[in-house]
């Protein structure tokens, strides 16, 4: 919906979809929240969410030019399609809070995910656990396994810090003068979020299934206020432009 709406102001959707500040750095520097609003007690039925009142969507970007394009695009259009559901824009507000503290208590507005790619392997089965794979029936397929870190993994904070360094360097052209640290404070089993989607493999042109593991919950985020402000607007962790890693600051 975001890219489609940006197209309304003259092809900007393609510009931002393919946007890279540094060659090889595939970051879009924006993120968005999960849909928020009052839902029925039975939240999922046939893989659908049922809202009984207004829904809210937050979008943030570390790139001022993209932020301006988003405001312009959404101010020009009132009706939208999302998952084959018609939506009418009831209101649009713009805020620009700045982070001034070096320690934040945060709650995820969209799930947090971070991963590493493992060596290519061959398999004749498909595992539903922590894996990105390509598999058709019992046919032997070569695939690259993806390990998704849990907040309880020892490397969780280090991997998030490495991701931050890569994003910040790609955005500014300079290495950050410090690190960030992420410590889980309140994580429940129900905070684990698993999603599936299908895409066409760029090399084989075959349809593959992607499984992403992510986590909601409450965390302590610390670092240079400038760095935390950057993450507030572009997202923490990986896959930010796909709707992962947005957080709010709480008491």
What is the DSSP annotation of 181-242?
Answer: EEEEEE--GGGEEEEEEEEE-TTT--EEEEEEEEE-SEEEEES-HHHHHHHHHH-SSS-GGG
CB of 86 closer than 8 Å to CB of 26: no
Q: Residue 64: how many CA atoms within 13 Å on its side-chain side?
A: 2
pLDDT band of 182, cuts 50, 70, 90: very high
pLDDT band of 127, cuts 50, 70, 90: very low
Domains 1-96 and 104-251 share a fold: yes
In angstroms, the CA 250 to CA 160 distance is 20
Residue ranges covered by each domain of the chain: 1-96, 104-251
Indicate the helix (H) or strand (E) that contains 17. helix 12-17
Mean pLDDT to the nearest integer, 130-158: 69
pLDDT above 50 for 150: yes
In angstroms, the CA 103 to CA 183 distance is 11
In angstroms, the CA 243 to CA 99 distance is 21
Query: In CATH, which of 3.90.226.10, 3.40.50.10490, 3.40.50.1000, 3.30.70.1890 is domain 1-96?
Result: 3.30.70.1890
DSSP code, position 112: B
pLDDT 10s digits, 35-85: 888 776 545 556 666 777 788 899 999 999 888 888 888 888 788 877 777
Residue of 196, 222, 192 lying closest to 207 (CA atoms): 196
pLDDT above 90 for 17: no
Task: Calculate the average pLDDT of the chain.
Answer: 82
In angstroms, the CA 132 to CA 126 distance is 9
Query: Any idea which of 26-35, 73-82, 107-116, 158-167 has the lowest mean pLDDT?
Result: 73-82
Considering the segment(s) 104-251 as one domain, its CATH architecture is: 2-Layer Sandwich (3.30)
Query: Any idea which of 14-23, 157-166, 199-208, 214-223 has the lowest mean pLDDT?
Result: 14-23
DSSP code, position 176: -
pLDDT above 90 for 174: yes
Residue of 201, 206, 207, 195 lying closest to 239 (CA atoms): 195
pLDDT 10s digits, 200-228: 887 788 888 889 999 999 999 999 999 99
pLDDT above 80 for 95: yes
CB of 21 closer than 8 Å to CB of 171: yes
> Is pLDDT larger for residue 50 or for residue 140?
50
Helix-, strand-, coil-residue percentages of the chain, each rounded to 5: 25, 35, 40
Residue of 116, 110, 111 lying closest to 130 (CA atoms): 116
Residue of 114, 226, 217, 130 lying closest to 162 (CA atoms): 114
Read off the pTM: 0.80
What percentage of the chain reaches a pLDDT higher than 90? 49
Query: Any idea which of 106-110, 121-125, 151-155 has the lowest mean pLDDT?
Result: 121-125
What's the confidence (pLDDT) of residue 139? 43
């Amino acid at each position: 919906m975001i890219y489609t709406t940006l197209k309304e102001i003259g092809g900007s959707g393609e510009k931002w979809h393919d946007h890279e500040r540094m060659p090889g750095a595939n970051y879009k520097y924006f993120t968005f929240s999960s849909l928020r609003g009052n839902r029925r007690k039975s939240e999922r039925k046939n893989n659908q969410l049922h809202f009984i009142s207004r829904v809210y969507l937050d979008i943030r970007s570390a790139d001022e030019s993209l932020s301006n394009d988003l405001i312009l695009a959404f101010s020009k259009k009132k009706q939208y399609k999302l998952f084959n559901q018609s939506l009418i824009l009831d209101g649009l507000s713009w805020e620009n809070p700045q982070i001034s503290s070096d320690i934040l208590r945060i709650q995820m507005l969209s799930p947090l995910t971070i991963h590493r790619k493992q060596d290519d392997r061959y398999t004749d089965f498909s595992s539903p656990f922590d894996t990105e794979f390509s598999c058709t029936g019992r046919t032997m397929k070569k695939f690259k396994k993806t390990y998704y870190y849990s907040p309880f993994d020892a490397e969780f904070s280090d991997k998030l810090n490495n991701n931050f360094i890569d994003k910040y360097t790609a955005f500014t052209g300079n290495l950050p003068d410090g690190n960030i640290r992420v410590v889980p404070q309140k994580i429940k089993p129900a905070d684990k979020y698993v999603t599936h989607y299908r895409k066409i493999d760029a090399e084989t042109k075959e349809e593959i299934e992607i499984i992403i593991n992510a986590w909601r919950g409450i965390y302590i985020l610390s670092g240079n206020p400038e760095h935390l402000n950057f993450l507030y607007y572009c997202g923490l962790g990986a896959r930010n432009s796909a709707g992962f890693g947005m957080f709010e600051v709480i008491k």
